[in-house]
């Protein structure tokens, strides 16, 4: 079995911090060409450095909710690396929502950020993968991985909008997997639980009691490191997963096996 992604070109969105950044860094360390994409240009420049001097790492800054921005992202990737083999849709947002508020536009915001951005970019990248592989008779032409959440299967009313957007993303993953299977493009998702991201670190500083609560509701008794998710994503993009598509891989330390409705959502 080979988990190698060496020489592949990957676009990773949400790559300025957290899980997206961990994945982009991990891919680069494993020999892939990586386009780090996010809206936070200052953070991207800080993480990637002088991208003009790097042969394997570049960054693209822009509002990925805009269709033109997505087209420009793909163009920038092709200009830098000539092709794209992997897409990781890691640009996500979490907002607390009130399920009883009919004028709460947070649900629409989350659907646009967490679902539509991934859908539009996947469509663009898939078309490119098909075009560049027109003369390739065997093997996969590309892999797409969507970052989802166990919130898609749990019931936390205060995170209704986020949960709905993740559930929709999971269904999009399955639908696109079937549609793109004849084109030899695989589409999977990674649904994860609590990860020691920058946002969770900030939350734990304000609410120290949350750590114990998370660990109590996680059979493995700890919070995941972002690098652990990066390794799982690498597997999904590698030839070792070449017969795996349309799946929602859960990486949560066993939390969904026993997490009750009343447990905090962090």
Taking alpha carbons only, the member of 193, 200, 186 closest to residue 235 is 186
Q: What burial letters (b/e) apply to 146-171, b meaning 16+ CB within 10 Å?
A: bbbbbbbbbebeebbbbbbbbbbbbe
Edge-to-edge strand order for the sheet containing 9-13? 57-61, 33-38, 9-13, 86-89, 142-149, 185-192, 248-251
The share of the chain scoring above pLDDT 70, in percent, equals 94
Evaluate whether residue 25 is within a structural domain: yes
**29-54 per-position pLDDT tens digit:** 999 999 999 999 999 999 998 655 57
| CB-based contact 253:225 (threshold 8 Å) | no
Residue 103's pLDDT is what?
66
Residues of the domain holding 141: 9-255
pLDDT attached to residue 78:
98
- pLDDT mean over 212-240: 94
For residue 219, being part of any structural domain is answered with yes
**CATH number, position 73:** 3.40.50.720
Q: Positive or negative CA dihedral for 11, 236, 188, 99?
A: negative
Give the number of other CB atoms < 10 A from CB of residue 50. 8
Determine, yes or no, domain membership for 176: yes
Is residue 96 one of the residues assigned to a domain? yes
Coil, helix or strand at residue 30: coil
Residue 250 exposed, middle or buried by CB count within 10 Å (0-12, 13-18, 19+): buried
pTM score of the predicted model: 0.93
Residue 266 lies in a domain: no
SS3 185: strand
In sequence order, which residues have a C-beta less than 8 Å from that of residue 260 and are 6 or more positions away?
217
Picking from 132, 175, 128, the residue whose alpha carbon sits closest to that of residue 11 is 128
The verdict on residue 2 lying in a domain is no
142: in domain: yes
Q: Return the minimum-mean-pLDDT range out of 33-42, 116-125, 135-144.
A: 135-144
* Mean pLDDT in residue range 204-212: 87
SS3 169: helix
Per-residue pLDDT at 266: 53
Instruction: Say how many domains are in the chain.
Output: 1
Query: Is residue 263 one of the residues assigned to a domain?
Result: no
């Amino acid at each position: 079995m080979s988990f190698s992604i060496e020489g592949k070109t990957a676009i990773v969105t949400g790559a300025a911090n957290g899980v997206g950044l961990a994945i982009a860094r991990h891919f680069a360390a494993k020999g892939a060409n990586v386009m780090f994409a996010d809206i936070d240009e200052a953070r991207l420049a800080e993480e990637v450095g002088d991208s003009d001097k790097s042969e394997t790492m570049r960054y693209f800054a822009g509002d990925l909710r805009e269709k033109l921005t997505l087209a420009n992202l793909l163009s920038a990737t092709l200009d830098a690396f000539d092709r794209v083999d992997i897409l990781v849709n890691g640009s996500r947002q979490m907002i607390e929502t009130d399920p009883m508020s009919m004028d709460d536009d947070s649900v629409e915001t989350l659907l646009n950020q967490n679902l539509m951005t991934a859908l539009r970019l996947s469509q663009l990248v898939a078309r490119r993968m098909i075009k560049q592989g027109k003369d390739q008779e065997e093997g996969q032409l590309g892999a797409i991985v969507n970052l989802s959440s166990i919130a898609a299967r749990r019931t936390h009313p205060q995170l209704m909008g986020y949960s709905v957007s993740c559930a929709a993303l999971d269904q999009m993953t399955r639908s696109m997997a079937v549609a793109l299977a004849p084109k030899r493009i695989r589409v999977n998702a990674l649904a994860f639980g609590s990860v020691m991201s920058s946002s969770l670190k900030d939350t734990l500083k304000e609410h120290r009691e949350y750590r114990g609560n998370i660990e109590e509701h996680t059979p493995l008794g700890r919070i995941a490191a972002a690098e652990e998710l990066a390794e799982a994503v690498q597997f999904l993009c590698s030839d070792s997963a070449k017969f795996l598509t349309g799946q929602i891989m859960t990486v949560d330390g066993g939390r969904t096996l026993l997490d009750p409705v009343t447990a905090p959502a962090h």
